[in-house]
Structure 1
C-alpha cells in the first residue's frame, strides 16, 4: 500500500510539473493562434507622442493566416497582394522582485519575390480563441493591432 501511494504521488507530480513547462505554454498559445485573423483596428504612437494615431485605413480588413508548419500569409486588401511569410512564437521569462513575469512575442516576416517587405516582432497582449491584441515596436514608434478570428 505504501509503495502504491508513493507511485501515485510521483506520477501525479510528474504530470503537474510537465503541465507547467515552457513548451506546454507555447503549445497552448500556438493552438489558439492557428487560423485566419482579420484586423479590426490599428493605431500608431510615435516616440514621444502622448496619443495614438488611427491607422485603420492601412490595416483594417487585411487578413493574416497562421499555419501549423510555421508559415503564414498576409492578405493586403488595399494593394490586393498576398504575401507569404513565416512566424514564430517566443516565450520570454523574466524574474522581477522574486516573481516570474512571462511575456509572449510573435515574430513575423512576410516576403515579396523573396525579399522581406514586412517584419514585426509583436508583444502578444491578449490571445484568446476569438481575439488577439498585438503591440509591435518599430523604428519611430509602436503599432497597436486588434484582430478577430474569422
Structure 2
C-alpha cells in the first residue's frame, strides 16, 4: 500500500472536502436527478444527463479522497531536520540573477498553491529543491529559459 505524504493542514482540508461531498453535494445531486427524472423523457433530458455526470464525478472524488485519507502519512514540518530540503519543509530561495527571494513550502500535489507559497514536490521546482542544503544552487529549466536559485535557508 502506497503511503501518501501530506501535511496536517492538507489532511484536514481533504477531510472537509469529503464531508462536504457526502453531506451536501451528494444529497443535492440526488435531488437534482429526481427532479430531472420527473421532467419525463430521459433520452433528451439535458438536466438529467448533467446530474448523472455530476453524480459520477462526486462518487469518483469520494473514492479518491477516501483512498488518500486512508493512506495518508501526516508529516509535521516542525519535526523535520533543517539540514536538507524534504517534504513539508519551508525554504527560502534567492534568484541568482535578480537577487529576489521567494519562500515556498514543499507539499503534495493536493496541497500545492503557488499563491499561498506551497509547491508540489512533484513539480519541476519541487524536484529540484528536494535533497538540497543551504548554500546549494539549483538550476531550473523554465519556459522562459534557465533559472538559477540558491537555497538560502530551510525554516
More strand by share: 1
Larger Rg: 2
More helix by share: 2
TM-score (norm 1): 0.34
